[in-house]
Structure formats: structure tokens, C-alpha cells
Structure 1
Amino acid sequence: MGSRLLKRAGISPKTCEQLKRHNIESCKALELWKHYSDSRFLTSLPALDKVLRGGIPCGAITEVTGPFGCGKTQLCMMLSVVTTLPKELGGLDRSVIYIDTESAFSAERLVEIAQNRFPDYFSSREKVVQMAGRVHIFREMTCQDVFRRLEKLEEILIATKAGLIILDSVASVVRKEFDTTLPGNLLLRSNVLGEEATTLKYLAHQFNIPVVVTNQITTQIGGQGSGPDTEGDSGIVTAALGNTWAHSVNTRFILQYGDGHQRQLLVAKSPVAPFAVLNYTIQKEGFCMNGNDGEVTLYEGTDPSLQAIRVRTLINLDTP
């Protein structure tokens, strides 16, 4: 009966198979869409979560870049606290893998954020101790140490039931070890960063968890964003590590200084969100958006690797 209908419709068996494959592919796209809808990590910042269509994406790399002291580590510690929360409070009820390459992590600050941001839940010492015990800190101070840790991370993720990986920062060790003014070092550094990005993407996808990395800034002479990291008296301040790394991350947040005590979070790259600016301050409870829900301003974006970053001073921004 089926073959007769095909003949009547003038459809050959080959065309039928092609239609079947097309239908299967359409179903896969539908499944991906459903999977995407369920794979977001709420940051506890409603305005940011709304811009991101539900929160930071799982299965992908989110980068936070900006000048020293603007709150990159503060955001990472706040996200660590949120990860450990029960699901009914917007958390993941999971552990955190926190790779610290700058010795910037503070257990005291982690506890302070938890107790001030979620005072009802962390009203007892038992809950605080439980939370702190689920944030696993690894201090790795060289490129080789970081890469060895990433290679072992799959087993650690399974053992700890972690729901978030943080690398704070990805730029610190590579910029210390690779002087890009020397011949061949820029390529070597790009290779190291490429391997790290590949491993992090694999882990994010395999375990369907968010990966958050922090990055530093650099000055591009004459505003050119395609060359190696350089410093000088003129140019624009941009995210460090160049174009290759910029294309390795799925989402990029830029933290920068505004007027006075105001600071700004820019959504500079996202597969789903528009270019947006949110004002924030750093308080005892961590990141706080201005206003009740946070005011969001859209802006005309550019290549994220060329996006200028506002800083307090252009002198001695960082080390190459």
C-alpha cells in the first residue's frame, strides 16, 4: 500500500529516504531547542537572567573580563554560592570546582556573600559549613598545573557532583609565561589557550554545566584589535588574549567603570542576547543591580574582541 501511494504521488524511494532524514533532522533541532530552554543557570540577578533568556548557558563557556578591582572574582564567588543552593531557591544543589590562578579567592568573603545575600537560608552555622564544603578550591599557578588539573577534572566532577566550573583567571598564568614580543611565543600561547578551551568545552558539554572563566585587559596600540597584546600611551583598552580566544568563548561579559562609583556590566557577546548594559555595585551581598530589577540599556555592539573597556586609568593596566 505504501509503495502504491509513493508511485501515485510521484515520489521515488530515494526521495522518500531523503524526506525521512530531513524529518529526523527537524526533530533534532526541536530537541536542541527544548534542551536549551532547560539548560540555563540563574545568577540571582533577575535583570541579567532576563537579558540572557533565562540565565548563564549550561554546556558552554562564559567569560567575564574587565580591569582589576571591578568585581570579576566577586561575581565568581557569588555564582559559587548560588550553585550550592537548593533548586527551590534558584540554585543547582551541586558543588563547585573553583580553579584559582591568582590567589584571589577568599573563604571569608564567600561566607559573607552567602549570609548577606540569602540570610534566611544561611541563618545557621550548619548551612554555612555545608555550603563552604561544596566549593572545591584548586590553586594552580603555572600553565602546566592548570592543564594537568583540567585533564583530571572529569573524574573530579563525577566524584564531587559539581554543577559549575570556574577558572579565575585564564589570562594570569599564560601572560606570565609567554612574552608575546618574542618570536614564536604568540603561537605557543594560542595553542595552550586552544587546548584549554577545547577541554573546558568538552567538560561543559559532557556534563551539561556552565563554565565561567575570568580574563584580564590589555591596551591595543592605535585601537587595532588583531595584533598581540601590547601596552602603550595610546590605543583602546580591550579584553586580553586576542581574537582566537575571543572566538573560543560563547558568552562574554565586560565589567567596566562608569561615572563616580558606578560600574557597568556589558553583555558583549551572546548567541541569544542583545548587546546590553546593566549598572551594578558591589555590596556585602555581592553583585547588586541598580533599582529593583536593574535597568537595562541596549547599545550598538561591535566585535567583542574590539569592544573598548572603560577603566579608571590607562597607566600600568596589567602585565603582558
Structure 2
Amino acid sequence: MTSRSLKRAGISPELTDQLKRHKIESCKDLLTHTSFEVMYAAGLSYQKTIGMLETVSRVIAPPFTTTLALWKYNLDSWFSTSIPALDKVLRGGLPCGSITEVTGPSGCGKTQFCLMLSVVATLPKELGGLDRSVIYIDTESAFSAERLVEIAENRFTDYYKCKDKVLQMASRVHIFREMTCQDVLCRLERLEEIIISTRAGLIILDSVASVVRKEFDTTLPGNLIHRSNLLGQESTTLKYLAHQFNIPVVLTNQITTHIVNQGSGTAPEGDSGMVTAALGNTWSHSVNTRFIVQYVDGHQRQLLIAKSPVAPFVMLNYTIQKEGIVIKENNGGET
């Protein structure tokens, strides 16, 4: 990954400080300069400069692997959602090392789902958690510390009887409020060192569509291309972070309506469009797992597993309670 810092590429702190004075901080910065420019900035001999460039090039080159190694690596790489019915369908939970998207209309519980996952990630491993911290990027000012604590105390009542454990959990959820596309992208490109320093085991971006749809009017010339380029950079960075640290990345997305030509015979009479995830087909291919949440009635909602490498298309009814997302089993029980 070219945005990786030079320190993470094995360059000594003294040399990285020297290069930083010349605005060379990442692998990308280094490799976009000529060998002579790097030699001047680093104060090295030509041979040592070439050696450093080769080292950095090897570090960021995608490594090859075998199917057997990948299978063994992913065998236990699942993050429990704490919802048994959903974990069962997903063969263990959310896949680590990949991107999961939750898309749906406002008020359906996307942020509630993210808050619940944040609590679970901080739990000890013996309780199904990761015993790690959380990086939560909030682009809509929708994060609620009070709601986070309420979910924790009601979903895991026995564990969070002790106030100190509640405080410890809250201190491990790191919030970054980014309100523009550029701010989000810059934050993602700086996350590598933050993940290491905070021991993060989960990344949440709530929501990926909010700032993009506000800033890009795709009816204007050139905006669609610029938006696609930005989303491509974001997805590439998120995929790299997920794979590099083998952690789950969870995003929320909005919905859009695609107009259907009634005269074409592609939609029933009176049906003028269909609801789908926002941001287009290119973005859709960047997502590994997709949940669609929607209303059933004023109280009940529905979660659809619309895309998954392991799970079939499944619909699960749920409600939002004090303890977060509660999915009803077919027999009428709750999980």
C-alpha cells in the first residue's frame, strides 16, 4: 500500500525524519521521486539510495499466497455480532479482513448496529469479543455516547454491572468526526499508525455516503468521475487496512431509487423505480458483504443479507430495543 508510512516500511526513524523535512513521508512520496532527488533529500550515497528504494518497493508489492494458506488464515477469522441467528447464517459472524456494508433508509438502525458492534469489539475474548479498541469515523454527528453505554449495560448486563468496566469500554472507542470528503480520505490514509497505537480491532465508517452525496452533484460535468476516483481511493485504503491487520471494516450507506421505464416491461404496472444502495455499481463491487435494512412496519424492521461470500440470501426480522438490535427467531423467540 503506497500510503504506508516509511517507518512501517522499515526505514529508520533518523532517516524518516530527514526525508520528512523534504515532505517525503509515505512510500508513495518516496517512489514518486527520482533516485537522485531521494539521494539529495536523504543525504545518502547513490548505492544506499537504490537499496532503500528497492526495500520500499518490495514492502508495498502485493505478496502471493496459496489457497491452502488463505483457507487456514481465514478459518477462525470471524467477528461475532452477538446475534446468534445472524452469526449462524454468516458461519461465525462478520468476516475479518474484509468490508461489510449496512445500507438502508434513515431510522432503520444502521448506527444502532454500529454502536452494538463497538461494544462487542471491546469485550474480552471469552465473552465473544475481540478485547480490542474501536476506530469510529462519524460523518453525520450521529454517534451517541449515552446510547453506547445504554446498549452495553442492557446487552451485557452481568459484565457491565461494574462502573469501571463501562468506563474502560467507553475509553476504547475512539471517535473521529470528519465532515468533508477530503477529511475522511485524509483520516483513512493516517489510520495505519492509529490502529497500531490504539490496538484497534474494528473500523467503523458511519456513513460513507453522507459527505459524498453532499459534495458531489453528479448531474454536473466531471463530478461523477471525481466522485468515483474518491470512492476508489477510500475503498482501496479500507481494503488494505482490513487485510493488513485482519480486522473487520463496517460501513453504513444510504439508499437511492433507480427510475424504471414503465413502458419497457421491466417493472410491474404502477412501479416507477426500485430502491438500491447508493454510490453506484463501482462502489458496490468494493463491498464484500452487504446487509440491507428496511422497514416492515412502525415497530418491526427487516435485515436482508444481500451479498456475502458464504451466506445465502436471507431475511431476518428485528426490532430496536434498549440492548440494541434484537432479531426474532422463526419460533418467536428473540436473540
- Asked if these proteins are the same fold (TM beyond 0.5), I'd say yes
What residue is the counterpart of 1:190 in the other structure?
Answer: 228
**Contact 2:317–2:327 (8 Å) recurs in 1:** yes
1:7: which partner in 2? none
Q: How large is the Cα RMSD of the aligned pairs?
A: 1.9
How many pairs were matched up?
Answer: 262
Measured in 2, the distance between the counterparts of 1:291 and 1:264 equals: 12
Equivalent residue runs for 1:53-202 within 5 Å: 53-202=91-240
What is the distance in 1 between the residues matched to 2:177 and 2:78?
28
Match for 1:289: what amino acid?
I
Equivalent residue, structure 1, for 2:253: 215
Q: TM-score, normalising length from structure 2?
A: 0.76
The letter of the residue matching 2:147 is R
Are residues 1:252 and 2:290 paired? yes
CA contact (8 A) 1:47 1:294 kept: no
Task: Tell me, yes or no, if the aligned pair for 1:47 and 1:293 is still in contact at 8 Å.
Answer: no
2:320 maps to 1:282 = yes
DSSP-derived class of the 2:299 partner: coil
Structure 2 vs 1, CA of residues 217 and 33 (structure 1 numbering), >3 Å: closer, same or farther?
same
Q: Aligned to 1:261, which of 299, 309, 313? A: 299
Deviation at 1:30? Answer: 1.9
The 1-side partners of 2:278 and 2:252 are apart by 10
CA distance in 2, matches of 1:275, 1:294: 21
* Displacement of 1:223: 7.1
Aligned to 2:279: 241
Distance 2:331 2:136 in 1: 29
Equivalent residue letter for 2:164? E
Seq. identity, %: 79
Structure 1 runs, 4 residues or longer, greater than 6 Å off? 292-295
Read off the aligned partner of 1:32 and give its amino acid letter: L
Q: Distance in 2 between matches of 1:163 and 1:170?
A: 19
- SS of 1:209's equivalent in the other structure is coil
Counterpart of 2:241 in structure 1 is 203
Contact 2:104 / 2:292 at 8 angstroms: preserved in 1? yes
Contact 1:217 1:237 (C-alpha < 8 Å) held by counterparts? yes
- Please give the alpha-carbon distance, in whole angstroms, between the structure 2 residues aligned to 1:29 and 1:93: 29
SS at match of 1:97: strand
TM-score for the superposition, normalised by structure 1: 0.79
**SS of the residue 2:115 aligns to:** helix
Instruction: Provide the secondary structure at the position in 2 that maps to 1:53.
Output: coil
1:167-218, Cα deviation, whole Å (9 max, x unpaired):
0000000101000010111111011001000000000000000000000011
Tell me the equivalent position of 2:48: none
Assess if the C-alpha contact under 8 Å between 2:85 and 2:329 holds in 1: no
Unaligned runs of 5+ in 2: 1-64, 263-270
Task: Find 1:35's aligned residue among 54, 57, 73.
Answer: 73
1:134 to 1:178, Cα distance in 2 relative to 1, 3 A: same
Whole-angstrom distance in 2 between the partners of 1:190 and 1:138:
24
Post-superposition offset of 1:294? 7.7
Deviation at 1:293, TM superposition (A): 8.3
Determine if contact 1:278/1:294 at 8 Å carries over to the other structure. Answer: no
Aligned 1:284-299 pairs, distance under 5 A: 284-291=322-329
Asked if 1 retains the 8 angstrom alpha-carbon contact of 2:103 and 2:254, the reply is yes
User: In 2 relative to 1, CA 292–91 (structure 1 residues): closer, same or farther, beyond 3 Å?
Assistant: farther
Q: String of CA shifts for 1:77-114, please: whole Å, max 9, x gaps.
A: 00000000000000000000000000000000000000
